[in-house]
């Protein structure tokens, strides 16, 4: 895996070109300039979405980019979709997708991926805390031969302490070669093929991709204050959910292919302890002439739980074997699992296409 970092340059006044972005854009070939899509998940972002769309359009013009921008209105209760469409003002690179209900950032990313044929995706937050001028820098690193580029936020923000602990735990558990998992990203769209991302697992996208051998790089990017609205990803509840999800992903990566290792080892240990306790009980009863009924209950408990855990481990092995066979059949047929269709039915057509 590769990793690199360079100091970010503060964003210039609106309309001016940033030197590092100009240099990065100058290295892009014609294919990279057009074969990407910027994915913007948006939930109740009416106060800022117009500025975001306009800023993206100006960045495309400044750096001669010819990709597309996909805003996914994730069940907003305000006028996010209408304001975004009006701000685009006929911009041909702009597309709007809509969820009827709020599904989450992960589902928004998968929806956009299922509705584009571009090779590269850039995941961009709707709150403009990252500048669109960063996009050429991400594309340039992708063109260098890596599969995923993730940003390391430079600048103060309210959730730095929580984010630092979360990122430190992730590096410790998953050995992933990046220091910030929850930031702007750019990556190959095909990475999502066959990768099962559950709700809110966009936070572990880099971890899961790293486990599959995709090449990763990291660059420093400036973090700007949110101009309006409030973050939809805050509160103590999200910390608890994040920790539980982290444990779930850790279990998946370590034991999904070998469930008997997780259930069978403690099951065998309990069974062995129960057998040993049973021998002690027999010795006390028939040699020492001392019967102790609670010891018998402990033997029954240990042996029963041990057998149950071993049985669950064998069932898990059967499930893992069936999944491997399904994956092998998909590869043989050349049709990897796609995530998009699972959420496509929740899409409304863009307002521009309605009668």
Tens digits of residue pLDDT in 311-354: 888 887 788 777 666 766 665 666 544 333 333 333 444 444 43
Instruction: Report helix, strand or coil for 249.
Output: helix
For residue 36 the two structure tokens come to: 């990407």
- How far apart CA 88 and CA 91 sit, in angstroms, is 5
pLDDT recorded at residue 156 = 67
Residue 322: burial class (beta carbons within 10 Å; 0-12, 13-18, 19+): exposed
Ranked by mean pLDDT, the top range of 8-17, 48-57, 310-319 is 48-57
pLDDT recorded at residue 13 = 47
Helices (H) and strands (E) in the chain, counts: 11, 8
Sorted by sequence, the CB contacts under 8 Å of residue 287 that are 6+ apart come out as: none
Q: Where are the domains of the chain?
A: 19-254, 256-328
Edge to edge, what strands does the sheet with 94-99 contain? 216-222, 148-154, 185-188, 120-123, 36-42, 68-74, 94-99, 347-348
Q: Above pLDDT 90, what percent of the chain? A: 43
For residue 15 the two structure tokens come to: 């309309």
Sorted by sequence, the CB contacts under 8 Å of residue 253 that are 6+ apart come out as: 174, 207, 208, 211
Evaluate whether the domain defined by 19-254 bears CATH number 3.90.550.10: yes
Give the tens place of pLDDT for each residue, 19-39.
889 999 989 999 999 999 999
Cα distances (angstroms) measured from residue 220 to each of 1, 7, 116, 151, 153: 17, 6, 28, 6, 6
Which of 95-104, 183-192, 342-351 bottoms out in mean pLDDT, i.e. has the lowest?
Answer: 342-351
Q: Above pLDDT 70, what percent of the chain? A: 81
pLDDT recorded at residue 349 = 42
Ranked by mean pLDDT, the top range of 9-23, 137-151, 225-239 is 137-151
- Judge contact between 174 and 250, C-beta under 8 A: yes
Query: 76 versus 8: which is more confidently predicted?
Result: 76
Cα distances (angstroms) measured from residue 79 to each of 123, 207, 311: 22, 35, 53
Strand pairing category for 185-188 and 120-123:
antiparallel
pLDDT recorded at residue 246 = 80
Ranked by mean pLDDT, the top range of 2-6, 145-149, 252-256, 329-333 is 145-149
pLDDT recorded at residue 133 = 94
Whether residue 158 has pLDDT greater than 70: no
pTM over 0.75: no
């Amino acid at each position: 895996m590769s990793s690199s970092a360079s100091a970010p340059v503060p964003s210039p006044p609106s309309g001016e070109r940033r030197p590092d972005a100009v240099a990065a854009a100058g290295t892009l070939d014609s294919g990279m300039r057009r074969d990407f899509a910027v994915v913007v998940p948006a939930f109740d972002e009416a106060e800022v979405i117009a500025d975001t769309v306009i800023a993206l359009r100006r960045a495309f013009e400044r750096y001669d980019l010819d990709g597309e921008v996909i805003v996914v209105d994730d069940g907003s209760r305000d006028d996010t979709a209408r304001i975004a469409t009006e701000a685009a003002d006929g911009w041909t690179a702009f597309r709007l997708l809509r969820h009827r209900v709020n599904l989450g950032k992960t589902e928004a990313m998968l929806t956009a991926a299922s509705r584009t044929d571009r090779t590269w995706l850039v995941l961009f937050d709707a709150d403009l805390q990252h500048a669109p001028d960063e996009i050429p820098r991400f594309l340039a690193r992708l063109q260098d031969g890596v599969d995923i580029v993730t940003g390391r936020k430079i600048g103060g923000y309210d959730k730095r302490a929580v984010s630092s602990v979360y990122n430190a735990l992730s590096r410790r558990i998953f050995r992933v070669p990046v220091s910030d998992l929850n930031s702007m990203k750019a990556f190959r769209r095909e990475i999502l093929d066959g990768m099962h991302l559950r709700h809110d697992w966009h936070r572990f996208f880099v971890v899961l991709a790293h486990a599959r051998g995709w090449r990763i790089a990291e660059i420093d990017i400036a973090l700007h204050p949110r101009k309006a609205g409030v973050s939809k990803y805050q509160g103590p509840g999200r910390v608890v959910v994040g920790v539980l999800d982290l444990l779930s992903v850790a279990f998946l990566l370590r034991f999904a292919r070998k469930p008997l290792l997780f259930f069978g080892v403690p099951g065998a240990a309990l069974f062995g302890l129960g057998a040993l306790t049973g021998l002690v009980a027999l010795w006390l009863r028939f040699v020492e002439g001392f019967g102790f009924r609670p010891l018998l209950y402990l033997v029954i408990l240990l042996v029963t739980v041990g057998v149950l855990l071993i049985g669950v481990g064998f069932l898990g092995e059967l499930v893992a074997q069936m999944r491997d066979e399904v994956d092998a059949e998909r590869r043989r047929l050349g049709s990897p699992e796609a995530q998009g269709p699972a959420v496509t039915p929740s899409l409304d057509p863009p307002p521009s296409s309605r009668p």
